[in-house]
Amino acid sequence: EVHLVESGGGLVQAGGSLRLSCAFSGFTFDEYDIGWFRQAPGKEREGLSCISTSDGNRYYVESVKGRFTISRDNAKNTVYLQMSSLKPEDTAVYYCAARSTCTYLYLHTDYEFPYWGQGTQVTVSS
């Protein structure tokens, strides 16, 4: 059974940093790619970044490019999202999700991801 568990959220001041973790189980690293999404109150879920767990290709949406970095640790079955220069508008629940292949286009089609974690809250104060 596929499981994804996010952690690392919390409260941070504007300009600060956080590292989110997505620990997964139930599949091997080369079976699924991992994406990060977020959903702010009253807004639609937004794709942020994804990483190919087979070849390490990374994709970012423009709003986080240069501030967020996605990475993986094969030995720990974990994907990370390092977030820096955080802004109040980054406040949201952050989710990781898995699908067979992720490219930039799939960041705009969250319904294509069959497996999701429960989310972790990130709050950025001004």
Q: Centre a 10 Å sphere on the Cβ of residue 91 and count the other Cβ atoms it contains.
A: 18
pLDDT digits (tens, 9 = 90+) for 35-93: 999 999 999 999 999 998 777 899 999 999 999 999 999 889 999 999 999 999 999 99
Share of the chain above pLDDT 70, in %: 100
What is the structure's pLDDT at 74? 85
Query: In this predicted model, which residue has the larger pLDDT, 119 or 107?
Result: 119
Residue type at position 106: Y
The answer to whether 18 and 87 are in contact (CB under 8 A) is no
Query: In this predicted model, which residue has the larger pLDDT, 104 or 39?
Result: 39
Three-state secondary structure string covering 8-32: CCEEEECCCCEEEEEEEECCCCCCC
| Residue positions counted in the chain | 126
Average pLDDT of the chain, as a whole number? 94
Quote the CA–CA distance of 73 and 80 in Å, as a whole number.
8
The answer to whether 33 and 52 are in contact (CB under 8 A) is yes
Query: Up-side HSE of residue 88: CA atoms within 13 Å toward CB?
Result: 2
What is the structure's pLDDT at 52? 87
Quote the CA–CA distance of 39 and 7 in Å, as a whole number.
16
What's the pLDDT band for 30 if we cut at 50, 70, 90?
Answer: confident
